[in-house]
Amino acid sequence: MANVDPRELDGTCAVVTGGNGGIGAAIVRSLAHAGVAVVIDYVARPEDTADLVQEITSAGGKAVGVDADVSTVAGIDKLIHTAVDRFGRLDAFVNNAGIEKRHSILEVEEDTFDEVMAVNLKSAVFGTKRAAQRFIEQGSGGVVINISSVHEDWPMPGNLSYCVSKGGMRMLTRTAGVELGRHGIRVVNVAPGAVDTPINEETMKDDALRQKLEGSIPLRHVADPAEIGDVVAFVMSDNARYMTATTVFVDGGIMQGSAGL
Protein backbone atom coordinates (compact mmCIF):
# COMPACT_ATOMS: atom_id res chain seq x y z
CA MET A 1 0.00 0.00 0.00
CA ALA A 2 1.36 3.42 -0.94
CA ASN A 3 2.10 5.80 1.89
CA VAL A 4 0.29 9.12 2.14
CA ASP A 5 3.05 11.70 2.24
CA PRO A 6 2.92 14.55 4.73
CA ARG A 7 0.89 17.44 3.29
CA GLU A 8 -0.25 15.35 0.29
CA LEU A 9 -3.85 16.28 1.06
CA ASP A 10 -3.20 19.96 1.73
CA GLY A 11 -6.22 22.13 1.04
CA THR A 12 -8.76 19.40 1.71
CA CYS A 13 -11.21 19.06 4.57
CA ALA A 14 -12.75 16.05 6.32
CA VAL A 15 -15.33 15.48 9.03
CA VAL A 16 -14.62 12.62 11.45
CA THR A 17 -17.57 11.58 13.60
CA GLY A 18 -16.74 10.27 17.06
CA GLY A 19 -13.30 11.76 16.47
CA ASN A 20 -11.96 12.58 19.92
CA GLY A 21 -10.83 9.16 21.13
CA GLY A 22 -9.79 5.64 20.14
CA ILE A 23 -9.84 4.91 16.43
CA GLY A 24 -11.45 8.28 15.71
CA ALA A 25 -8.60 10.25 17.24
CA ALA A 26 -6.08 8.14 15.32
CA ILE A 27 -7.94 8.90 12.09
CA VAL A 28 -7.87 12.60 12.92
CA ARG A 29 -4.11 12.48 13.50
CA SER A 30 -3.40 10.55 10.30
CA LEU A 31 -5.51 12.92 8.20
CA ALA A 32 -4.01 16.01 9.81
CA HIS A 33 -0.51 14.62 9.16
CA ALA A 34 -1.42 14.40 5.47
CA GLY A 35 -2.54 18.04 5.44
CA VAL A 36 -6.30 17.63 5.89
CA ALA A 37 -8.24 20.24 7.85
CA VAL A 38 -10.32 18.14 10.24
CA VAL A 39 -13.69 18.76 11.86
CA ILE A 40 -13.72 16.59 14.99
CA ASP A 41 -17.18 15.51 16.12
CA TYR A 42 -17.78 14.60 19.77
CA VAL A 43 -20.61 14.24 22.28
CA ALA A 44 -18.56 13.68 25.45
CA ARG A 45 -15.12 14.49 26.93
CA PRO A 46 -14.75 18.01 25.49
CA GLU A 47 -11.36 18.25 27.19
CA ASP A 48 -10.05 15.39 25.02
CA THR A 49 -11.26 17.22 21.94
CA ALA A 50 -9.59 20.44 23.03
CA ASP A 51 -6.31 18.58 23.65
CA LEU A 52 -6.47 16.95 20.21
CA VAL A 53 -7.16 20.26 18.48
CA GLN A 54 -4.25 21.83 20.35
CA GLU A 55 -1.96 18.95 19.38
CA ILE A 56 -2.80 19.34 15.70
CA THR A 57 -2.69 23.12 15.52
CA SER A 58 0.58 23.26 17.46
CA ALA A 59 2.08 21.03 14.76
CA GLY A 60 0.90 23.39 12.04
CA GLY A 61 -2.31 21.57 11.15
CA LYS A 62 -5.92 22.68 11.08
CA ALA A 63 -8.68 21.27 13.28
CA VAL A 64 -11.83 22.30 15.09
CA GLY A 65 -14.03 20.42 17.54
CA VAL A 66 -17.82 20.36 17.24
CA ASP A 67 -20.29 19.00 19.79
CA ALA A 68 -22.84 17.26 17.56
CA ASP A 69 -25.14 14.25 17.95
CA VAL A 70 -24.80 12.37 14.67
CA SER A 71 -27.78 10.16 15.43
CA THR A 72 -29.77 13.18 14.17
CA VAL A 73 -29.65 14.80 10.75
CA ALA A 74 -29.40 18.18 12.47
CA GLY A 75 -26.16 17.05 14.11
CA ILE A 76 -24.74 15.89 10.79
CA ASP A 77 -25.70 19.18 9.13
CA LYS A 78 -23.97 21.08 11.94
CA LEU A 79 -20.71 19.27 11.17
CA ILE A 80 -20.90 19.89 7.42
CA HIS A 81 -21.81 23.54 7.88
CA THR A 82 -18.83 23.95 10.21
CA ALA A 83 -16.51 22.38 7.65
CA VAL A 84 -17.70 24.73 4.90
CA ASP A 85 -17.77 27.83 7.12
CA ARG A 86 -14.32 27.24 8.61
CA PHE A 87 -12.41 25.61 5.76
CA GLY A 88 -14.41 26.48 2.66
CA ARG A 89 -15.24 22.96 1.47
CA LEU A 90 -15.79 19.30 2.30
CA ASP A 91 -13.77 16.52 0.66
CA ALA A 92 -14.33 13.52 2.95
CA PHE A 93 -16.85 12.42 5.54
CA VAL A 94 -15.70 9.68 7.90
CA ASN A 95 -18.57 7.82 9.60
CA ASN A 96 -16.65 6.56 12.63
CA ALA A 97 -19.06 7.13 15.54
CA GLY A 98 -20.26 3.90 17.09
CA ILE A 99 -21.40 2.22 20.27
CA GLU A 100 -21.59 -1.39 21.41
CA LYS A 101 -24.32 -2.88 23.63
CA ARG A 102 -23.81 -6.61 23.95
CA HIS A 103 -26.80 -8.95 23.88
CA SER A 104 -28.10 -11.98 22.00
CA ILE A 105 -31.24 -12.20 19.89
CA LEU A 106 -33.11 -13.57 22.93
CA GLU A 107 -31.93 -10.68 25.13
CA VAL A 108 -32.21 -7.64 22.87
CA GLU A 109 -34.64 -4.89 23.92
CA GLU A 110 -36.25 -2.39 21.61
CA ASP A 111 -34.75 0.75 23.15
CA THR A 112 -31.23 -0.68 23.13
CA PHE A 113 -31.54 -1.87 19.55
CA ASP A 114 -32.84 1.54 18.46
CA GLU A 115 -29.94 3.29 20.20
CA VAL A 116 -27.29 1.15 18.50
CA MET A 117 -28.93 1.53 15.09
CA ALA A 118 -29.22 5.30 15.48
CA VAL A 119 -25.58 5.85 16.38
CA ASN A 120 -23.97 3.16 14.23
CA LEU A 121 -26.12 2.92 11.10
CA LYS A 122 -28.59 5.80 10.84
CA SER A 123 -25.73 8.25 11.32
CA ALA A 124 -23.78 6.58 8.50
CA VAL A 125 -26.77 6.59 6.14
CA PHE A 126 -27.53 10.26 6.61
CA GLY A 127 -23.87 11.23 6.92
CA THR A 128 -23.37 9.65 3.49
CA LYS A 129 -26.45 11.39 2.08
CA ARG A 130 -25.64 14.86 3.38
CA ALA A 131 -21.96 14.63 2.47
CA ALA A 132 -22.84 13.44 -1.05
CA GLN A 133 -25.23 16.34 -1.49
CA ARG A 134 -22.45 18.73 -0.52
CA PHE A 135 -19.95 17.03 -2.85
CA ILE A 136 -22.40 17.34 -5.75
CA GLU A 137 -23.00 21.01 -4.95
CA GLN A 138 -19.22 21.59 -5.03
CA GLY A 139 -18.91 19.63 -8.28
CA SER A 140 -15.60 18.14 -7.22
CA GLY A 141 -16.28 14.54 -6.24
CA GLY A 142 -15.47 13.38 -2.73
CA VAL A 143 -15.25 10.29 -0.55
CA VAL A 144 -17.30 8.81 2.27
CA ILE A 145 -15.32 6.46 4.49
CA ASN A 146 -17.32 4.23 6.81
CA ILE A 147 -15.54 2.68 9.78
CA SER A 148 -17.14 -0.71 9.81
CA SER A 149 -15.81 -3.88 11.46
CA VAL A 150 -14.89 -7.45 10.65
CA HIS A 151 -18.35 -8.09 12.10
CA GLU A 152 -20.00 -6.68 9.00
CA ASP A 153 -19.24 -10.14 7.62
CA TRP A 154 -18.28 -12.28 10.63
CA PRO A 155 -20.90 -13.27 13.24
CA MET A 156 -20.20 -12.47 16.88
CA PRO A 157 -22.72 -14.34 19.06
CA GLY A 158 -23.86 -12.21 21.99
CA ASN A 159 -23.31 -8.93 20.14
CA LEU A 160 -26.34 -8.95 17.85
CA SER A 161 -27.22 -5.27 17.38
CA TYR A 162 -23.61 -4.24 16.76
CA CYS A 163 -23.18 -6.93 14.11
CA VAL A 164 -26.48 -6.01 12.45
CA SER A 165 -25.45 -2.36 12.33
CA LYS A 166 -22.13 -3.21 10.71
CA GLY A 167 -23.81 -5.56 8.26
CA GLY A 168 -26.09 -2.68 7.30
CA MET A 169 -23.06 -0.46 6.82
CA ARG A 170 -21.64 -3.04 4.40
CA MET A 171 -24.68 -2.81 2.13
CA LEU A 172 -24.89 0.97 2.56
CA THR A 173 -21.37 1.21 1.19
CA ARG A 174 -22.04 -1.05 -1.76
CA THR A 175 -25.35 0.50 -2.74
CA ALA A 176 -24.39 4.13 -2.20
CA GLY A 177 -21.05 3.55 -3.90
CA VAL A 178 -22.83 2.29 -7.02
CA GLU A 179 -25.42 5.07 -6.94
CA LEU A 180 -22.91 7.88 -6.45
CA GLY A 181 -20.17 6.72 -8.80
CA ARG A 182 -21.55 8.77 -11.70
CA HIS A 183 -20.94 11.88 -9.59
CA GLY A 184 -17.31 10.97 -9.02
CA ILE A 185 -18.08 10.19 -5.36
CA ARG A 186 -16.46 7.16 -3.74
CA VAL A 187 -17.84 5.21 -0.76
CA VAL A 188 -15.49 2.80 1.02
CA ASN A 189 -15.66 0.78 4.23
CA VAL A 190 -12.58 0.40 6.41
CA ALA A 191 -13.18 -2.62 8.66
CA PRO A 192 -10.86 -3.08 11.65
CA GLY A 193 -10.39 -6.28 13.60
CA ALA A 194 -9.12 -6.17 17.19
CA VAL A 195 -7.73 -2.73 18.05
CA ASP A 196 -6.07 -1.46 21.23
CA THR A 197 -8.77 1.02 22.27
CA PRO A 198 -10.76 1.56 25.49
CA ILE A 199 -13.43 -0.88 24.26
CA ASN A 200 -10.83 -3.67 24.57
CA GLU A 201 -9.22 -2.37 27.76
CA GLU A 202 -10.15 -5.34 29.94
CA THR A 203 -8.70 -7.81 27.43
CA MET A 204 -5.49 -5.82 26.97
CA LYS A 205 -4.92 -5.57 30.73
CA ASP A 206 -5.32 -9.32 31.25
CA ASP A 207 -2.16 -11.07 30.04
CA ALA A 208 -3.89 -14.41 29.48
CA LEU A 209 -6.75 -12.89 27.50
CA ARG A 210 -4.42 -10.66 25.50
CA GLN A 211 -2.12 -13.56 24.62
CA LYS A 212 -5.09 -15.70 23.60
CA LEU A 213 -6.38 -12.93 21.35
CA GLU A 214 -3.00 -12.21 19.81
CA GLY A 215 -2.46 -15.92 19.24
CA SER A 216 -5.60 -15.98 17.07
CA ILE A 217 -4.29 -13.19 14.83
CA PRO A 218 -1.94 -14.30 12.04
CA LEU A 219 0.15 -11.12 12.41
CA ARG A 220 0.29 -11.83 16.16
CA HIS A 221 -0.61 -8.41 17.50
CA VAL A 222 -3.66 -6.30 18.22
CA ALA A 223 -3.74 -3.25 15.97
CA ASP A 224 -2.56 0.12 17.17
CA PRO A 225 -5.26 2.69 16.31
CA ALA A 226 -2.74 4.45 14.07
CA GLU A 227 -2.73 1.38 11.82
CA ILE A 228 -6.39 2.07 11.11
CA GLY A 229 -5.95 5.83 10.79
CA ASP A 230 -3.25 5.43 8.16
CA VAL A 231 -5.52 3.24 6.02
CA VAL A 232 -8.24 5.89 6.20
CA ALA A 233 -5.76 8.51 4.97
CA PHE A 234 -4.82 6.17 2.13
CA VAL A 235 -8.46 5.67 1.15
CA MET A 236 -9.01 9.44 1.09
CA SER A 237 -5.97 9.99 -1.11
CA ASP A 238 -5.61 9.69 -4.87
CA ASN A 239 -3.78 6.41 -4.28
CA ALA A 240 -7.26 4.89 -3.79
CA ARG A 241 -8.97 6.83 -6.59
CA TYR A 242 -10.32 3.67 -8.29
CA MET A 243 -11.68 2.14 -5.08
CA THR A 244 -15.37 2.34 -4.24
CA ALA A 245 -18.39 0.27 -3.12
CA THR A 246 -16.13 -2.13 -1.24
CA THR A 247 -14.58 -2.91 2.14
CA VAL A 248 -10.92 -2.80 3.12
CA PHE A 249 -10.41 -5.24 6.00
CA VAL A 250 -7.63 -4.16 8.39
CA ASP A 251 -7.63 -7.10 10.76
CA GLY A 252 -4.18 -8.71 10.80
CA GLY A 253 -5.79 -11.74 9.18
CA ILE A 254 -8.00 -12.54 12.17
CA MET A 255 -11.03 -13.43 10.02
CA GLN A 256 -8.99 -16.17 8.36
CA GLY A 257 -6.98 -17.36 11.36
CA SER A 258 -9.36 -17.28 14.32
CA ALA A 259 -12.24 -19.47 15.44
CA GLY A 260 -14.00 -16.29 16.60
CA LEU A 261 -13.99 -13.66 19.30
- Find, among 187, 55, 123, the residue nearest to 65 by Cα: 55
As annotated, the active-site residues are 162
Which DSSP string do the residues of 76-105 spell out, in sequence order?
HHHHHHHHHHHHS---EEEE---------T
Q: How many CB atoms lie within 10 A of CB 43?
A: 16
Q: How many CB atoms lie within 10 A of CB 131?
A: 29
Tell me the CA end-to-end span of the chain in Å, nearest whole number. 27
Distance between CA atoms of residues 179 and 62, nearest Å = 32
Dihedral in degrees, nearest 10, Cα atoms 203, 110, 78, 35: 30
